[in-house]
Amino acid sequence: MAHFEEWEIVLHGRRAVYRVAGDGPAVVLVHGMLNSSSHWHEVARSLAASHTVLAPDLIGHGDSAAPRGDYSLGAHAAAIRDVMAAVGIERATIVGHSLGGGVAMQFFYQFPQRVERLALVSSGGLGREVSPLLRTAALPGVSPLLSLTINPRLLGAIRAAGTGMRERGMGQGAYLQAMARALRPLQSAGAREAFLQTLRSVIDVRGQRVSATDRLYLLEALPTLIVWGDRDNTIPIEHGRSAHAAIPGSFFKTLPGVAHFPNLEDPDGLAAALLEFMASTEPASTEATEDWGAILEGRSPRTRRGERALA
């Protein structure tokens, strides 16, 4: 199988890390919060048999630099654009998991000419509800608490518990292993700050504070796949179903027995869904500003100030 090699470049004076594999039409895999490009390993190796697969570490995640600065969805989307440009990928199918789903939708909104298809995996940005753990983590004063609780002994215990559960055939073990891998970088003060800035840009104590639901109509002309685990307790599967209903022509795939990390819990099932989606759809092409304006104007009729639109 293809090697999922790690590379490092310097963008705007800061370290940017990405992994790449395969050859063929491009697919960009965008990881979720506290994850990294390495979490796509098994999915990427399956896709790489027929595609060029690019998976960047988002700013402040994985081995990419964690500068003091902007961690909004737009900043993450712009960073992905820069990595794509640096490695020579002009257009791609964009796949986003969890936070990465919100980044993927923002990427399409900012750079529609670079997107051929969109796949949202257990995506954020499609409703307010989110797990109590993430809402709690968004509270003020959490950073000192994280520094006290994130230590090698705790992470080792979580990882060992996950390994034991997986050996007994319990799917929740993959979730614990993913948690241990995700929490390990938070031993660094810079990574903790980057995590909290990213988290607070999209979540507050009431839940998700950023929503793409008012712009889902923009995806009507874009091949869109929505994938969800039917045991997801982090972001409700109802968000995916509602988005599917709101996007004409979209595809919806449920992965049975899977929670919030399909890329880790069922990488073969997720890869198969992505391959089928790409094989059965033609890439979209939004080539110019006029195309984007036509999409917007088609659903946003203009009226002069002081006049009322006709019914």
Q: Which of 36, 46, 98, 250 does the annotation list as catalytic?
A: 98
Catalytic-residue membership of 98: yes
Catalytic-residue membership of 260: yes
Q: Which of 232, 239, 244, 266 does the annotation list as catalytic?
A: 232
Q: Could you please report the per-residue DSSP string of the chain?
A: ----EEEEEEETTEEEEEEEE--SSEEEEE--TT--GGGGHHHHHHHTTTSEEEEEPPTTSTTS---SS--SHHHHHHHHHHHHHHHT---EEEEEETHHHHHHHHHHHH-GGGEEEEEEES-SSS-S---HHHHHHTSTTHHHHHHHH--HHHHHHHHHHHHHHHHTT-THHHHHHHHHHHHGGGGSHHHHHHHHHHHHHHEETTEE----GGGGGGGGGS-EEEEEETT-SSS-HHHHHHHHHHSTT-EEEEETT--S-HHHH-HHHHHHHHHHHHHTSPPP---SHHHHHHHHHHHS----TT-----
Q: Which of 46, 201, 260, 266 does the annotation list as catalytic?
A: 260
Catalytic-residue membership of 232: yes
Enumerate the active-site residues: 98, 232, 260
